[in-house]
A and B are shown apart, each in its own frame.
Chain A
Amino acid sequence: MIRLEKRPQPSRAFSLATPLLAVLATMVFGGLMFAVLGKDPVTSIITIFWQPLFGEFAFYYRPQLLIKGAPLVLIAIGLSLGFKAGIWNIGAEGQYIMGALFGAGVGLAFYPMESFIVFPMMVLAGAFGGWLWAMIPALLKVKFGTNEILVSLMLVYVAEQFLASMSLGLMKNPEGFGFPGSRNLQQYNSAFNADLIEGSGMHWGVVAALIAVIFAYVLLTKHRLGFAIRVTGEAPRAARFSGVNPTRLVLFCLGASGLLAGLAGLFEVAGPAGQVTIDFNVGYGFTAIIVAFLGRLHPIGILLAGGLMALTYIGGDIAQSQLGLPAAAIQVFQGMLLFFLLAFDLLTNYRLRPGRTEVA
């Protein structure tokens, strides 16, 4: 029999190795699943992990990686700050939608005026929208002690209704022949979040994501606030004792994650998506939760995890179209990744020991 024994202190080696082990285990068990579905496991895994990067059509897929990865990283960085402190913002999807609506709203309000000021204004509005939406669970939590998990999650559905209402009403394209959805911001130069280098997929959202990674890294390792976040997550009483104000921390963590999610929404609506439509949101806000944990709540880890997750998305799409794998199988595959990550995570704090038999 095998027993678990708590380590005297967390293993650094395992903390680093866990994500790799999880990816390997996902490949093995995902491959088994594909085999059961009647697909060649090796081909499937290669299609998912290799094709997007180095395959025949990689020139098309590589920019897609950035486009998919950037919002994931941007949102996950914000979420990780709260998660580290034990503050659970589950509603990034809603904040993402509100950021897009606020940002697009500002852009559409200026239409058709061309000015360099329009896009920065939209960025500010997007950040504000996401921040505002996150402040609702934050204020309810600090004033009335409500559970931020529930409130932020429920607000996702409220935001979705807003999105539907906006794309059918206020923001509907007056020249859109009655179809739902706003004007296409890609056709409005001052508002378009275009690729910085044509065809590279490198838009302002990617830049923002990289800045967020660096900012979060410095915050967590060098700054008092980052230390307060970490202590609060590790030992809330010790944090209070050291002088951390829990109210302010809740406001900061939820506010920052909302702000970054709002930015992600803005960059998406002004760039790759182009318009406000009913089905604008595709679940980045929820997937970012997986990205945050896959990256071990560490900024660099999140950067890598965001890339990996984008890879499975795009690879999954290719596998669907080329091999005919069902979409659900791809989702199970992504779910496995989180499952194995959490399972192997145990080894950071525990070690396996062969159980001893009775001593005579």
Chain B
Amino acid sequence: MNEKPLLELSGLTKAYPGVVANDDVSLRIAPGEVHALLGENGAGKSTLVKMIYGLVKPDAGRMQMHGTGFAPAEPRAARAAGVGMVFQHFSLFDALTVAENIALGMEDAPKLRTLSQRIREVSDTYGLPLSPDRVVGDLSAGERQRVEIIRCLLQEPKLLIMDEPTSVLTPQEVEILFKTLRKLSAEGTAILYISHKLEEIRALCDSATILRLGKVVGHCTPSETSARDMAEMMVGTVLKTPTRAGKTPGDVVLSLTGLSAKSPSAFGMPLREISVEVRAGEVLGIGGVAGNGQDELLAALSGETLSAPGMIAFRGRDVSVLGPTPRRAMGILTAPEERLGHAAAPDMSLTENAMLTGAARENLDRGGLLDWSAARSFAERIISTFDVRTPGPGNAARSLSGGNLQKFVIGREVLQRPDLLVVNQPTWGVDASAAAAIRQALLDLAENGAAIIAISQDLDELMEISDRFAALNEGRLSPPRPAQGLTVDEIGMMMGGAHGMEVAHV
């Protein structure tokens, strides 16, 4: 890095009440460099990029762009200085077209026809095919991401910040995205790439900065460092890989026969003719790009949406028309993807959130009267067993960090001794050591005879814990195959290929 840096951060510090999010962070990014920002949840990655993008003002420290002072007061100023950012969560309007969505995000948007023309040019150049006239609600997650990327590229950024961009992509789509990013880099655009997928970082990035608890703890050249070493730098301890004993699956616990269900939301994905059996002691991994029916499948299994009789059988009993409470009483437990607002009520205490799903099986509901002291000790048990970092069970769910809340949500179900546990994105946004703990808990459950359905977009995770693997695509479930020995290409094909993407014409 002897080149003159494009962006130089020195001594950036940002404190929030009770926590120092960034402590004396320094960083240099050269033009055309692909720089990885690595760290566990809560390590301060988001705060750091938010400062660069003008969303958060640093308490101390300096930023320099092209050798001159750079202190964006708001994202608009950052964009004007050549910083673009693709967020992990898209901010797009489903009911509007691609061009309309992009126009909304621009300061002085040209006429829609001119803009459409420019969108086509940019998408051709960078191998991101996208028709400006399509309605965003009909696009796949990968295509939506392209809208966000093109929105940034239209501003011709010098620095592109990407926050966990591959979490919604199939392996083929990831490959295409990387081609695009490499082409941008070759043209001199620097890329600040945030991810926790270490293999991707090794494949893509020139250099990496590792953050832990708000401090820079190391730099490395990813291509020359092993993923394990990087993970241990992130966590600061030696990692344990989940272990399991070999076993033979038991009786059929869950059997789905032609499960079809409409989606409750207008832009959701209906489930189409899903048939599969899950046995005791088995982990069925379900992969697939987000928005292909994952939420709907979980809702159909939890009982939030009811199905036609005969579609869902649990231990030979038809449960299709039973709601969540009777299903829970029978031993079907679930943990949805969305932590705040779905799996947990944000403004309620952890005790109350323990009551939320624990009432029946933990005997917290005695003939309609709730036993709050028992709920409190149940919450305390979750907190201690799953190492949830919080001052106590009286704290509101939203005061926990994402990873800690996830541990609580998963722990709440695991401790209720499920016969069937369905989890969606069990380690999403969770740091590496906590993710390993959650996976281990799932494997232990299976070991003790529970059937597990793990829905996830993290293929590495699925390969690590699944006995069999199936993929959701357009609401259909592929026939499950033994997970051992599956190649990434085969998985990609099961997931429905690259959704019509092309490789960038480099």
Contacts and interface: CB of A to CB of B under 8 A. Distances in A.
Interface string A345-360: 0000000000010111
Contacts of B340: 235
Contacts of A223: 368-370
B485 interface: no
Contact of A241 (B61, B346, B357, B398): B357
B348 A243 contact: no
Given A243-B303, A356-B57, A359-B60, A10 B338 contact: no
A222 to B, nearest CB: 5
A242 B356 contact: yes
Interface in B319-363: 323-325, 328, 334, 336, 338, 340-348, 352, 355-357, 359
B303 A238 contact: no
Interface in B53-89: 57-62, 71, 73
Contacts of B46: none
B304 interface: yes
Contacts of B325: 243
B325 to A, nearest CB: 4
Contacts of B18: 8
Contacts, number: 87
Interface residues of B, number: 43
A238 B344 contact: yes
Nearest to B58: A359
A188 to B, nearest CB: 40
A4 interface: no
B399 interface: yes
B302 interface: yes
Given A223-B368, A223-B369, A358-B73, A230 B303 contact: no
A237 B343 CA distance: 8
A238 B334 CA distance: 12
B153 interface: no
B342 A242 contact: no
A224 to B, nearest CB: 5
B316 interface: no
Contacts of A9: 347, 395-396, 398-399
A9 B390 CA distance: 12
A237 B341 contact: yes
A191 to B, nearest CB: 36
B71 A224 contact: no
Contacts of A358: 57, 71, 73
Given A227-B355, A358-B71, A241 B399 contact: no
A222 B355 CA distance: 12
B502 interface: no
18 contacts: A8-B18, A8-B396, A9-B399, A10-B396, A224-B369, A225-B368, A227-B355, A230-B352, A231-B348, A234-B348, A235-B342, A235-B347, A237-B338, A238-B343, A238-B345, A239-B345, A240-B324, A245-B323
Given A235-B346, A238-B356, A241-B357, 20 more contacts: A9-B347, A9-B398, A10-B347, A223-B369, A224-B368, A224-B369, A231-B345, A234-B347, A235-B340, A235-B345, A238-B343, A241-B304, A242-B357, A243-B323, A243-B324, A356-B57, A358-B57, A359-B60, A359-B61, A359-B71
